[in-house]
Amino acid sequence: MKQILSFFLLTMALASCQTLDVFEKTAFFPDHEWASSRKPSFTFAIEDTAAAYHISVVFRHEDAYHFNNIWLNVTTQAPGDTAKTQLVNVTLANNKKGWLGTGMGDVFDHRARITRMPVKLKKGNYTFILQQHMREEPLQYVLNAGIRVEKVKP
């Protein structure tokens, strides 16, 4: 009986550790500043076309970051399509709560969805290009920016 219970608990623990993430990658800015001329690019392959996906921007900054948001040009190149660019405003803080992301010390991480609803993706390679579109040049106190694509849980 103990062996069956141990096996069941181990199976549940391993199952809960499985992730539905497909892709997450960030670009690091070694001087903690992001010039608008620097456009990190992220490419990944989609195999499962039956699943729906959420797409998020990943952003890490220091507490000294000057703004409560970031404007980004997000360019998407889908398989067989022309590249499309959208201007996205990511809210990072508000007056009531302060920074909305998770923080440790003076570093804050944000994951902000850029798709409102889950989307179906075609099979093949996708490329995302990020460009900061803020009035400060270069944008100070930025550590990382990236893309996260994850399957929607059934």
Element (H, E) at 154: none
β-pairing, 139-140 with 102-104? unpaired
pTM: 0.83
Name the 3-class secondary structure at 146: strand
Judge contact between 92 and 99, C-beta under 8 A: yes
Q: Which residues of 85-103 are buried (b: 16+ CB within 10 A; e: fewer)?
A: eeeeebebbeeeeebbbeb
Which of 11-20, 27-36, 116-125, 135-144 shows the lowest per-residue confidence on average (mean pLDDT)? 11-20
Q: What is the mean pLDDT of the chain?
A: 88
Per-residue model confidence as pLDDT tens digits over 23-78 = 999 999 999 999 999 999 999 999 999 999 999 999 999 999 999 999 999 999 99
Q: What is the DSSP-derived secondary structure letter of residue 153?
A: P
Please report the pLDDT score of residue 153 as a whole number.
Answer: 82
Torsion of CA 36, 107, 70, 139, to 10 degrees: -30
Q: Which residues contact 50 (CB under 8 A, 6 or more apart)?
A: none
DSSP string for 53-118: EEEEEEEEEETT-S-SEEEEEEEEE-TTS--EEEEEEEE-EETTTEE-SEEETTEEEEEEES-SS-
